[in-house]
Amino acid sequence: MTNVEERLFNPFTPGFFEDPYPHYKMLRDEDPVQEHPLGFWFVSRFEDVSKVLKAGLSVEVGNLAPGPFSQQVEYFGEEGNAGALNLSMLDRDPPDHTRLRSLVTKVFTRRAVAALEPKIVRLVDEALDRMADKGPSDLVEELAFPLPFAVISEMLGMPPTDHTRIRELSGTLVRSLEIVADEETARAIMAADAELTSITREVIEWKRKNPAEDLLTALIEAEHEGQVLDGDELVAQVVLLYVAGHETTVNLIANGVNALLRNPSQWQLLRAQPDLAANAVEEFLRYDSPVQQTRRITTSPYELAGKEIPAGTFVLACLASANRDERFFGPDADALRLDRPEARSQVSFGAGPHHCLGAALARLEGQVAVSRLVQRFPKLGFAGDLEWNGRINLRGPSKFPVTVHG
Shortest reach from residue 348's CB to ligand HEM, in Å: 5
Window 93 to 112, contacts with ligand HEM (CB under 6 A): 101
Contact 248, 291 (CB under 8 A): yes
Beta bridge partners of 315: 41, 296
Output the CA–CA distances (angstroms, integers) from residue 43 to 40, 52, 65, 308, in the order listed.
10, 8, 19, 13
Closest CA to 177 of 332, 349, 400, 391: 391
Shortest reach from residue 274's CB to ligand HEM, in Å: 21
Cis status, amide bond into 95, omega within 30 of 0: yes
Window 38 to 77, contacts with ligand HEM (CB under 6 A): 53
Total of residues contacting ligand HEM (CB under 6 A): 27
Output the CA–CA distances (angstroms, integers) from residue 259 to 83, 241, 246, in the order listed.
38, 27, 20
Strands 41-43 and 314-318, sheet pairing: parallel
The identity of residue 265, as a single letter, is S
Shortest reach from residue 135's CB to ligand HEM, in Å: 29
Note whether 33 binds ligand HEM by CB under 6 A: no
Window 135 to 164, contacts with ligand HEM (CB under 6 A): 152
Among 163, 262, 344, 355, indicate the residue that binds ligand HEM (CB under 6 A).
355
118 vs 306, beta carbon nearer ligand HEM: 118
CB neighbour class for 160 (10 Å; exposed up to 12, middle 13-18, buried from 19): exposed
| CA atoms within a 13 Å half-sphere pointing along the CA-CB vector of 261 | 24
277 vs 404, beta carbon nearer ligand HEM: 277
Note whether 358 binds ligand HEM by CB under 6 A: yes
Shortest reach from residue 116's CB to ligand HEM, in Å: 11
H or E element at residue 25: helix 21-30
Stretch of 79-87, 264-272, 304-312, 345-353 lying at the interface with ligand HEM (CB under 6 A): 345-353
Shortest reach from residue 8's CB to ligand HEM, in Å: 23
23 vs 286, beta carbon nearer ligand HEM: 286
Shortest reach from residue 52's CB to ligand HEM, in Å: 9
114: Cβ contacts below 8 Å, ≥ 6 apart: 360, 364
Beta bridge partners of 189: none
DSSP, collapsed to helix, strand or coil, labels residue 43 as strand
Closest CA to 238 of 255, 259, 223, 226: 223
Stretch of 31-39, 139-147, 169-177, 288-296 lying at the interface with ligand HEM (CB under 6 A): 288-296
Output the CA–CA distances (angstroms, integers) from residue 194 to 58, 59, 77, 201, 293, in the order listed.
25, 22, 11, 11, 25
Note whether 286 binds ligand HEM by CB under 6 A: no
Shortest reach from residue 136's CB to ligand HEM, in Å: 27
Note whether 361 binds ligand HEM by CB under 6 A: yes
Note whether 89 binds ligand HEM by CB under 6 A: yes
249 vs 266, beta carbon nearer ligand HEM: 249
Note whether 20 binds ligand HEM by CB under 6 A: no
169: Cα separation from own chain's centroid: 16
Shortest reach from residue 195's CB to ligand HEM, in Å: 20
Rounded CA gap, 378 and 373, in Å?
8
Query: x/- contact string, 230-269, with ligand HEM (CB under 6 A)?
Result: ----------xx--xx--xx--x-----------------
27 vs 362, beta carbon nearer ligand HEM: 362
Q: Which residues bind ligand HEM (CB under 6 A)?
A: 53, 89-90, 101, 152, 240-241, 244-245, 248-249, 252, 290-291, 294, 348-352, 354-358, 361-362
